[in-house]
């Protein structure tokens, strides 16, 4: 077992006169309209009970040491003007896909494609939840609940209790097109909460894309259950406004021979926390979680936290965590990543790398990599680096006539390449790469 | 073409004088070789001429066709026609060789007020030149220098040189780490580029490369200065006798 906090940071104590935690939770809940739920009613009640027991996080909580939870704890978010985002070109729009549009977390049927596609069943949560039974009943809130140990994730429990909508996807074959969830904003003060449940049946495959921005504050949960030999490729490119608060959880259960590959691109955002809890339960399974994060403190405060927990509970499984952050002008990045290898999970191959490229001296990266291993025949490694641009490489490019700004874009893309490699599809990877390049070019001269 | 006069350079961080009054002139169309023992300042000279950070010019000047090189950014020097073939070419994962080189060619053209070269034209040109250097087309698609052998990296440098068509080429120990066949390929690439309006400054430890790239003039460098200048025979003399006697003779 090894644990290393590369750098620590003072967290301001709670302001005196702030409501007590219990009152704060009640105020938070009062500001939401909690759906009673149909098939989710039991799960929602259980989640609420879990949440009341664990309470909202405080700055003294071990897993909130580097990220201030108070903006997430506040009953309502600060409104953000609808136009307060960068004029990015849309992603994936020219590709064949099935599109589902959500506006501030609520499904918009008129803007979405027809939900029928061979090899896949798609329902929306709000619609399906009017009934008492659904295939998702055995999963909604279930993976979230099992992801509450050993680390508490109160905002995920809050999400299960409060989710307004989301998508329920059951994949039984290999659908011909990816499913693309697009988020849009409508209200300046929206507090968007959505909850997706994905079940990929034995031998089935799905590529799931999720892009756009919802709410002034968002709380998104995905519960993904991969049966034997199933494949799920999840690519998220959330477009955050500069003042945006966002909290996302991915809970995945990966059965034997199944493959999960997840890649998330994040740019901008005042306070973003992305948690992943991956439970590998069957032999010979593979789980890769990757992220590329770009933050520029000049266009608004930037703080991005990736908190990842991978559990190996079976033999000969492989996990990879590849997290890369590019930070400039006082941007802050956090990575907390853990690999837990349970007794008997022999021949585990666990790998974790978190790296930050700091483009100036004001930015900072805080990393806490952890390994906890209870099996004796495993291969696990973790690494974390924080560095500046490679001056030799920069000179090499410039000596060929590439202007400095352009050379920096090349080197940043080079730094991020390992994370992008986790996107299998070349066309999707190319579009993500173009999006990164465009952002870097826009933010080059500051 | 290249004129260096009384150049004094020190390392910024260490306050250590490396070049101590170096003077040199390479006329258009000529190949000059610089030889010298380790630590004489050969690589520093190539870096200072191409504009690497970390060096401070305390005295003297360097011009290319009368233009002050030392005032320019590295990319401006490149656009003006200067090229440095690196002793240790840099690996850049995630950036395609072809993308990088096309960006460089077009950035230089733009800086010179020329039109950008089209993808089709570029592709045609690079394929032809790669074939001459026996560079596999697959290598062009790979990230810059990643997974290349020592010889492939050096050939890639020459390919860049051929595509960028500089007027003044500086080669920093391009022969280091090359076997005989690879050296011949590199030399053939360089010889193919020789022309009346293109000059070369070839920095090397050994005379061997100069068997393949015939220099017009050979300079011996020691302790930050040129201490002796002569014809191709001077390189042979170094090979036979070592630097000891030459340097003693030069005082």
CB within 8 Å: B79 and A397: no
B128 interfacial to chain A (CB closer than 8 Å) = no
Compute the average pLDDT of residues A292-298.
93
* pLDDT attached to residue A84: 58
Q: Which two tokens stand for residue A2?
A: 């090894």
Per-residue pLDDT band for A155 (boundaries 50, 70, 90) equals: very high
Compute the average pLDDT of residues A160-172.
98
Residue A324 scores a pLDDT above 70: yes
* pLDDT attached to residue A18: 54
* pLDDT attached to residue A19: 55
Contact assessment for residue A8 and residue A366, using Cβ atoms and an 8 Å cutoff? yes
To the nearest whole angstrom, how far is the Cα of A393 from the nearest Cα of chain B? 6
B231 interfacial to chain A (CB closer than 8 Å) = no
For residue B74, list chain A residues with Cβ-Cβ distance below 8 A: 395, 398-399
d(CA A95, CA A196): 23
Compute the average pLDDT of residues A114-137.
97
Give the pairing of strands B2-11 and B143-144. Answer: unpaired
* pLDDT attached to residue A86: 64
Give the burial class of B37: count Cβ atoms within 10 A of its Cβ; 0-12 exposed, 13-18 middle, 19 or more buried.
Answer: middle
Which of A251, A116, A153, A278 is CA-nearest to residue A197? A251
Q: Which two tokens stand for residue A239?
A: 């477009």
d(CA B234, CA B231): 6
Residue A6 scores a pLDDT above 50: no
Supply the CATH number for residue B229's domain: 3.40.50.300
For residue B108, list chain A residues with Cβ-Cβ distance below 8 A: 401
Give the model confidence (pLDDT) of B198-251 as tens digits: 999 999 988 888 989 999 999 999 999 999 999 999 988 888 888 887 788 766
Compute the average pLDDT of residues B56-77.
96
* pLDDT attached to residue A9: 41
For residue B73, list chain A residues with Cβ-Cβ distance below 8 A: 398, 404
Give the model confidence (pLDDT) of B90-143 as tens digits: 999 989 999 999 999 999 999 999 999 999 999 999 999 998 888 888 888 899
Residue of A400, A412, A420, A422 to mutate when probing chain B, most B C-beta within 10 A: A400
CB within 8 Å: B90 and A396: yes
- Among A81-90, A217-226, B187-196, the range with the most confident prediction by mean pLDDT is A217-226
Per-residue pLDDT band for A22 (boundaries 50, 70, 90) equals: low
* pLDDT attached to residue A4: 40
Compute the average pLDDT of residues A292-307.
92
Contact assessment for residue B86 and residue B157, using Cβ atoms and an 8 Å cutoff? yes
More confident residue, A142 or A88: A142
Residue of A nearest to B51 (CA): A399
Per-residue pLDDT band for A11 (boundaries 50, 70, 90) equals: very low
* pLDDT attached to residue B13: 87
CB within 8 Å: B93 and A416: no
What is the overall mean pLDDT for chain A? 92
For residue B94, list chain A residues with Cβ-Cβ distance below 8 A: 413-418, 420
CB within 8 Å: B86 and A396: yes
* pLDDT attached to residue A366: 97
Which of A170, A228, A219, A175 is CA-nearest to residue A199? A170
Give the model confidence (pLDDT) of B156-197 as tens digits: 999 999 999 999 999 999 888 888 888 888 899 899 999 999
Residue A290 scores a pLDDT above 60: yes
d(CA A135, CA A436): 38
Domain that holds residue B80: 2-250
* pLDDT attached to residue A7: 41
Give the model confidence (pLDDT) of A406-444 as tens digits: 999 999 999 999 999 999 999 999 999 998 988 898 887
Q: Which stretches within A121-241 are classed as H helix?
A: 125-128, 142-146, 154-162
Q: Please, which residues have CB within 8 angstroms of residue B242's CB and are 6 or more apart in sequence?
A: none
Beta bridge partners of A284: none
B75 interfacial to chain A (CB closer than 8 Å) = yes
To the nearest whole angstrom, how far is the Cα of B174 from the nearest Cα of chain A? 15
Which of B142, B99, B94, B100 is CA-nearest to residue A417? B94
Residue A12 scores a pLDDT above 50: no
According to DSSP, residue A136 is labeled: G
According to DSSP, residue A104 is labeled: T
pLDDT > 70: percent of chain A: 93
Compute the average pLDDT of residues A96-107.
96
Contact assessment for residue A154 and residue A21, using Cβ atoms and an 8 Å cutoff? no
What interface predicted TM-score (ipTM) does this complex get? 0.96
Residue from the list B90, B94, B107 with its beta carbon closest to the beta carbon of A406: B107
Residues 399-428 of A with CB under 8 A from B: 399-404, 406-407, 410-411, 413-418, 420
pLDDT > 70: percent of chain B: 99
Count CB pairs under 8 A between chains A and B. 81
Which of B93, B204, B105, B110 is CA-nearest to residue B160? B105
* pLDDT attached to residue A59: 80
Q: How many helices (H) and strands (E) does chain B have?
A: 10, 12
* pLDDT attached to residue B112: 92
Count other C-beta atoms under 10 Å from residue B124's C-beta.
12
For residue A353, list chain B residues with Cβ-Cβ distance below 8 A: none
Beta bridge partners of A286: A259, A318
Residue A20 scores a pLDDT above 80: no
To the nearest whole angstrom, how far is the Cα of A444 from the nearest Cα of chain B? 17
* pLDDT attached to residue B239: 84
Task: Report the number of distinct structural domains present in chain B.
Answer: 1
Give the pairing of strands B199-204 and B82-85. Answer: unpaired
Count other C-beta atoms under 10 Å from residue B66's C-beta.
6
CB within 8 Å: B94 and A406: no
Residue A5 scores a pLDDT above 50: no
CB within 8 Å: B75 and A401: yes
Give the model confidence (pLDDT) of A274-284 as tens digits: 999 999 999 99
CB within 8 Å: B92 and A395: no
* pLDDT attached to residue B180: 87
Give the pairing of strands B199-204 and B31-35. Answer: parallel
* pLDDT attached to residue A244: 86
d(CA A74, CA B29): 73
Give the burial class of B68: count Cβ atoms within 10 A of its Cβ; 0-12 exposed, 13-18 middle, 19 or more buried.
Answer: exposed
* pLDDT attached to residue A1: 37
Q: Which two tokens stand for residue B162?
A: 């051929």
């Amino acid at each position: 077992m090894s644990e290393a906090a590369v750098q620590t940071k003072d967290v301001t104590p709670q302001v005196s006169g702030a409501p007590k935690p219990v009152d704060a939770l009640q105020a938070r809940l009062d500001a939401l309209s909690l759906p009673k739920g149909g098939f989710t009613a039991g799960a929602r009640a259980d989640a609420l009970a879990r949440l009341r027991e664990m309470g909202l996080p405080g700055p003294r909580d071990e897993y909130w040491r580097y990220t201030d939870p108070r903006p997430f704890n506040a009953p309502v978010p600060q409104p953000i003007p609808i136009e307060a985002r960068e004029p990015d070109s849309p992603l994936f729009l020219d590709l064949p896909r099935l599109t589902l549009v959500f506006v501030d977390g609520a499904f918009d049927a008129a803007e979405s494609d027809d939900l029928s596609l061979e090899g896949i069943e798609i329902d929306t949560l709000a619609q399906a939840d009017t009934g008492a039974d659904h295939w998702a009943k055995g999963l909604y809130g279930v993976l979230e609940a099992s992801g509450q140990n050993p680390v508490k994730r109160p905002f995920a429990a809050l999400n299960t209790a409060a989710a307004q909508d989301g998508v329920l996807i059951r994949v039984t074959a290999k659908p011909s097109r990816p499913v693309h969830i697009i988020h849009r904003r409508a209200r300046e003060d929206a507090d968007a909460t959505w909850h997706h449940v994905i079940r990929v049946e034995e031998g089935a495959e799905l590529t799931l894309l999720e892009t756009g921005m919802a709410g002034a504050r968002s709380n998104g949960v995905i519960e993904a259950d991969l049966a034997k030999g199933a494949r799920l490729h999840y690519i998220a490119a959330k477009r955050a406004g500069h003042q945006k608060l966002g909290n996302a959880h991915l809970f995945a259960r990966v059965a034997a021979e199944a493959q999960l590959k997840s890649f998330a691109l994040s740019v901008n955002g005042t306070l973003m926390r992305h948690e992943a809890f991956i439970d590998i339960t069957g032999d010979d399974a593979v789980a890769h979680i990757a992220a590329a994060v770009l933050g520029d403190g000049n266009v608004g405060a930037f703080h991005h936290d990736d908190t990842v927990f991978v559990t190996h509970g079976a033999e000969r499984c492989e996990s990879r965590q590849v997290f890369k952050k590019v930070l400039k002008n006082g941007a802050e990045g956090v990575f907390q990543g853990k690999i837990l290898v349970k007794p008997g999970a022999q021949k585990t191959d666990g790998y974790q790398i978190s790296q930050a490229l700091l483009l100036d001296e004001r930015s900072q990266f805080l990393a806490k990599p952890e390994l906890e291993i209870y099996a004796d025949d495993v291969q696990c490694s973790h690494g974390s680096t924080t560095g500046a641009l490679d001056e030799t490489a920069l000179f090499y490019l410039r000596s060929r006539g590439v202007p400095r700004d352009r050379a920096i874009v090349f080197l940043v893309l080079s730094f991020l390449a390992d994370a992008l490699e986790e996107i299998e599809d070349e066309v999707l990877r190319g579009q993500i790469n173009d999006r990164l390049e465009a952002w870097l070019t826009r933010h080059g001269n500051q | 073409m290249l004129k260096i006069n009384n150049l004094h350079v020190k390392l910024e961080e260490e306050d250590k004088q490396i070049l101590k009054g170096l003077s040199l002139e390479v006329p258009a169309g000529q190949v000059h070789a610089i030889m010298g023992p380790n630590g004489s300042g050969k690589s520093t000279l190539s870096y200072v001429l191409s504009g690497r950070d970390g060096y401070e010019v305390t005295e003297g000047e360097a011009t290319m066709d009368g233009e002050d090189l030392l005032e320019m950014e590295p990319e401006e020097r490149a656009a003006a026609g200067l090229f440095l073939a690196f002793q240790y070419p840099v690996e850049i994962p995630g950036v395609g060789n072809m993308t990088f080189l096309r960006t460089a060619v077009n950035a230089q053209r733009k800086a010179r007020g020329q039109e950008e070269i089209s993808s089709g034209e570029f592709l045609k040109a690079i394929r032809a030149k790669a074939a001459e250097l026996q560079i596999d087309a697959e290598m062009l698609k790979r990230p810059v220098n990643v997974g290349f052998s020592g010889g492939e990296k050096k050939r890639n440098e020459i390919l860049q040189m051929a595509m960028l068509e500089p007027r003044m080429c500086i080669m920093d120990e391009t022969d280091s780490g090359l076997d005989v066949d690879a050296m011949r390929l590199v030399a053939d690439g360089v010889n193919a580029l020789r022309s009346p309006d293109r000059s070369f400054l070839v920095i090397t430890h050994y005379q061997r490369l100069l068997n393949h790239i015939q220099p017009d003039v050979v300079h011996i460098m020691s302790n930050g200065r040129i201490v002796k200048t002569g014809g191709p025979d001077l390189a042979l003399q170094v090979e036979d006798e070592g630097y000891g006697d030459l340097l003693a003779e030069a005082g």
